[in-house]
């Protein structure tokens, strides 16, 4: 069964600190991996999309890495801000006959304290 | 929210009543999706559409039906609402980007409570 597991489930950090969120997946065949940010009461917003040939991608203070061999990804947030408080969702898109089928992780809830 | 609106944004209804949620897009994207989001679960696909009058089931389609009579509108209907359908419902749209990937853009969500 295709699965996406994220850790930790929740994380509290102080403003200005860095943090790293983890994502492990079993989706096969694999097409691409996405990270979304979801603010409370709103829909998810895309941060990055990476195909199997990309092992790092940045979007401002967000940097995602991908190791397609070990089926792991991470999202690193640099110099956190209060506005980074949100749920971060890892999503894997299948390939082959499952092309475009998305499997969602449950998300990591990040809280940034002043 | 990428030119996507959902209506209503909040609804409380009673068990057994029919409910229709509407998703409207102004992006002219071909693909539209309905998801539900529940605590302890990732977003789960209910139904999706790949064109006008072209729809297919997702992983949690039981108890739901959809219709798409125009490119811009995708309706989700609960024929007879049950308490297990209390959830937050998200509409999403997608189209192929320059890299051939189908980025999905999500609407603001509809919070549905079935009492």
Contact yes or no for B65/B49 (Cβ under 8 A):
no
Question: What is the rounded CA–CA span in Å between residue B40 and residue B26?
Answer: 32
- pLDDT for A30 equals 84
Residues of A in contact with B90 (CB under 8 A): 43-44
Residues 34-73 of A with CB under 8 A from B: 41-46, 49, 51
Reported as a pLDDT band with limits 50, 70 and 90, residue A97 is low
pLDDT digit string (tens) for B83-113? 999 999 999 999 877 676 788 999 999 999 9
Of B45, B90, B101, the CB nearest to A43: B90
Does the pLDDT at position A13 exceed 80?
Answer: yes
Q: What is the pLDDT at residue B2? A: 64
Q: Which B-chain residues 82-101 have CB contacts (< 8 A) with chain A?
A: 90, 92, 99, 101
A-B interface: how many C-beta pairs under 8 angstroms?
A: 42
Are B102 and A100 in contact (CB < 8 Å)? yes
For residue B52, what is the DSSP state? T
Cβ of residue B106 closer than 8 Å to a chain A Cβ: yes
| CB-CB under 8 Å, A106 with B40 | yes
Residue A27 has what pLDDT? 87
- Strand ranges, E, within A43-107: 45-51, 56-59, 62-67, 72-77, 86-94, 102-104
List CB contacts (< 8 A) between A4 and chain B.
Answer: 42
Q: Which residues of A touch B99 (CB under 8 A)?
A: 51
Task: Name the band, by pLDDT with cuts 50, 70 and 90, for residue A98.
Answer: low
Please tell me if residue B71 touches chain A, with a CB cutoff of 8 Å.
Answer: no
Residue A52 β-bridge partners: none
Q: Write out residues 19-38 of A within 8 Å (CB-CB) of B.
A: 32
Nearest to A43 among B41, B45, B108 (CB): B108
pLDDT at A81: 98
Separation CA B56–CA A107 (nearest Å): 26
For chain B, which ranges sit under pLDDT 50? none
- The Cβ of residue A8 has, within 10 Å, a number of other Cβ atoms equal to 12
């Amino acid at each position: 069964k295709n699965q996406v597991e994220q850790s930790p489930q929740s994380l509290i950090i102080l403003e200005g600190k860095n943090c790293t969120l983890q994502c492990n997946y079993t989706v096969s065949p694999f097409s691409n991996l996405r990270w979304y940010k979801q603010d409370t009461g709103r829909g998810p917003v895309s941060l990055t999309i990476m195909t199997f040939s990309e092992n790092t991608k940045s979007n401002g203070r967000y940097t995602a890495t991908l190791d397609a061999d070990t089926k792991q990804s991470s999202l690193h947030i640099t110099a956190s801000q209060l506005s980074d408080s949100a749920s971060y969702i890892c999503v894997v898109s299948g390939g082959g006959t499952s092309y475009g089928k998305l499997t969602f992780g449950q998300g990591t809830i990040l809280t940034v304290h002043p | 929210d990428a030119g996507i609106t959902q209506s209503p944004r909040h609804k409380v209804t009673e068990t057994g009543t029919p409910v229709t949620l509407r998703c409207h897009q102004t992006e002219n994207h071909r693909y539209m999706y309905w998801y539900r989001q529940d605590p302890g679960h990732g977003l789960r696909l209910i139904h999706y559409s790949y064109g006008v009058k072209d729809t297919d089931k997702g992983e949690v389609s039981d108890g739901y039906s959809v219709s798409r009579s125009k490119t811009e509108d995708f309706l989700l209907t609960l024929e007879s609402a049950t308490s297990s359908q209390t959830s937050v419902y998200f509409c999403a749209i997608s189209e192929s980007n320059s890299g051939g990937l189908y980025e999905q853009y999500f609407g603001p969500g509809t919070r549905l409570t079935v009492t």
